[in-house]
Amino acid sequence: MTTAASREVAVRSIADHIARQKRLGTSEELIEQWTPRSIDVVCAQLSNIPVDMIIEQWLYERYEELHPSQFVSLFAMHSDAARTLNDTQIKEITAPVIYRATVSLNHAFDLFIDRLFGHRTDYATVYRRVPDASAGSKIFAAWQRAMRNYAPGDEFRLVDEVAKLLGLDRWYVWREDVGERDTAEAAGPQGPTNLEALEERDPAVVMYCLDALERFEGMDDAAVFAIGSEIALKAQGGLDYTDPERKHTLQSLKGEQFSGLHLLCLMYVAFQRVNPSLDLQLPFADAYQRALGMFGKRQ
């Protein structure tokens, strides 16, 4: 998500802070270590937290039996993030734009948790008197707007909107070669050629793999194989996994429409069941394992 060029933009953006740290006597070694690390951390938060809110909402709505473990997990995330507020050293050494982004994203996530559990929690209260976290409510509002008519792929637009709110919109890039869309982003018989772009869709892949596991639960291997094989044939002509539009149909699953990424996930899970030794050249292994874990918990 970050490149040499986007990292250079980020470093230039905090040049005044770096100069101030040098004047204050902060060691060159610490500055050289903390500057890139803090940039990486905030960019990771930017790409993960808005998407995590989408996933956690999706899980909450579908798996009531997971609510207790989800509550414990989200409490742990809240507690870890809230510690940043009490660490004066981190605040001093971190560039203001990064610190504001970090605590604002954490604030937004706590607003989300409080809403998710019907305001039986009040985690966000720790941020209400923190001026640096004031953008949290705007981030949460952006998430709420995105969820009104959410479709897979909207998470990228949400991240872009949040980045603009925080002044980080030039600190990262989506690894997508628009000029080579038909080839670099198509999954054909040899698999996709732009694996980095596909890996960035990991949150959606988890959801689609979980959907596939649920679909296939009551099917025999022959029916699952038929679905996987039909998609494999369709993929020979290329499937655009960057297009969220649900425009593909299957004879084996009549009456439904799917995006290209959804089809690839169905195919991957199908062959994981009937022929796991087959190499589809799809970077879905980690997402599939997470989906298996979620699927197992609901059994």
Domain limits of the chain?
4-166, 178-297
Please check whether residue 184 is in contact with residue 195, taking contact to mean a CB–CB distance below 8 angstroms: no
Compute the distance between CA of residue 50 and CA of residue 136 in angstroms, rounded to an integer: 11
The radius of gyration of the chain from alpha carbons, rounded to an integer in Å, stands at: 21
Better-scored residue on pLDDT, 275 or 186: 275
**Phi, psi of 258, rounded to the nearest 5 degrees:** -135, 150
Q: Using one digit for the tens of pLDDT, what is the confidence trace for 28-74?
A: 999 999 999 999 999 999 988 998 898 889 888 877 877 888 898 89
Q: Using one digit for the tens of pLDDT, what is the confidence trace for 155-213?
A: 889 999 999 999 999 999 886 543 333 333 445 444 444 445 445 456 788 889 999 99
- pLDDT number for residue 265: 94
Q: Spell out the residues 6+ positions from residue 209 whose beta carbon is closer than 8 angstroms to its own.
A: 265, 268, 269, 284, 287, 288, 290, 291, 292
Compute the distance between CA of residue 194 and CA of residue 196 in angstroms, rounded to an integer: 6
Compute the distance between CA of residue 23 and CA of residue 16 in angstroms, rounded to an integer: 11
- pLDDT number for residue 175: 65
Q: Spell out the residues 6+ positions from residue 69 whose beta carbon is closer than 8 angstroms to its own.
A: 297
Verdict on whether the full-model pTM lies above 0.85: no
188 strand-pairing partners: 191
Q: Spell out the residues 6+ positions from residue 23 whose beta carbon is closer than 8 angstroms to its own.
A: none
Q: Nearest-CA neighbor of 143 among 79, 55, 82? A: 55
- pLDDT number for residue 203: 75
Which tokens belong to 179?
A: 């000029």
Q: Nearest-CA neighbor of 138 among 117, 165, 116, 159? A: 165
Q: Nearest-CA neighbor of 216 among 271, 260, 261? A: 271
Please check whether residue 194 is in contact with residue 238, taking contact to mean a CB–CB distance below 8 angstroms: no
Reading phi first (left if > 0) and then psi (alpha if -120 to 50, else beta), residue 140 is in alpha
